[in-house]
Amino acid sequence: MKKILSLLASAFLLAGCGTMGSSDSGNILGSILGSLGNENTVTSIADLVIGKIRIDQSQLVGTWKYHSPSCAFTSENLLAKAGGAAVAAQIKTKLEPTFQQVGVSANNTYFTFTQDNQFQAKINGIPWNGTYTYDPESGTLKMKSLLLSSTAFITRSTRGLNLNFESKKLLNILQVAGAMSGNANLQTISDLSKNYDGVHLGFEMYK
């Protein structure tokens, strides 16, 4: 146990100094965190970086139900500066009350993607249907409809995938979905974006 704690301390010290931009240090931290094995709080470094792991369209096709909030970073360097996978888990924890306030749950929030580039979704029970284009190279998913268009960034999760958005885009989506209550809890999304450079926020989805 002392050895594990010592390795963790060393890994987070590296992350705090911004040295995890190298693949070696990232692999070390990912291996240590992965060995601890809590799927709710610990995710591999690659799964937290947009575009790091490619998911093709055939893997995207299907119905995905909301499970929990998600977050991802635009680069390994920004993830390292923020504090690594442990901070990503903290961000998800901070988002949970906001999503609960909005009313987002597995019962009323899902996305369905078809092979012919159509999508059907509900967020807090509010329908959102249209067409999409997906670029597996960058993980960019563009969804268009008559009322609302937005771009998501796909990353992998332990059991499914994540749809992450720029924080302002996610806030717009939640507002359109019936979150116009003026509750201060929604400010959490904007606050996280200001405090963590390069963070994208969204939904962890399971089939």
Please check whether residue 184 is in contact with residue 90, taking contact to mean a CB–CB distance below 8 angstroms.
no
Domain residue ranges of the chain, discontinuous segments joined by +: 46-206
Give the integer Cα–Cα distance in Å for 156 and 146: 29
The highest-level CATH class for domain 46-206 is mainly beta
Taking alpha carbons only, the member of 8, 113, 105, 108 closest to residue 58 is 113
Model pLDDT, residue 43: 53
Whether 148 has a pLDDT exceeding 90, the answer reads: no
- Residue 185: pLDDT band (50, 70, 90) is low
- Residue 33 pLDDT class (50, 70, 90 cuts): very low
Under 8 Å CB-to-CB from 82, ≥6 apart: which residues? 73, 88, 196, 197, 198, 199
Whether 204 and 70 have beta carbons less than 8 Å apart is answered as yes
Q: How confident is the model at residue 52 (pLDDT cuts 50, 70, 90)?
A: confident
11 against 68, higher pLDDT? 68
| Stated pTM of the model | 0.73
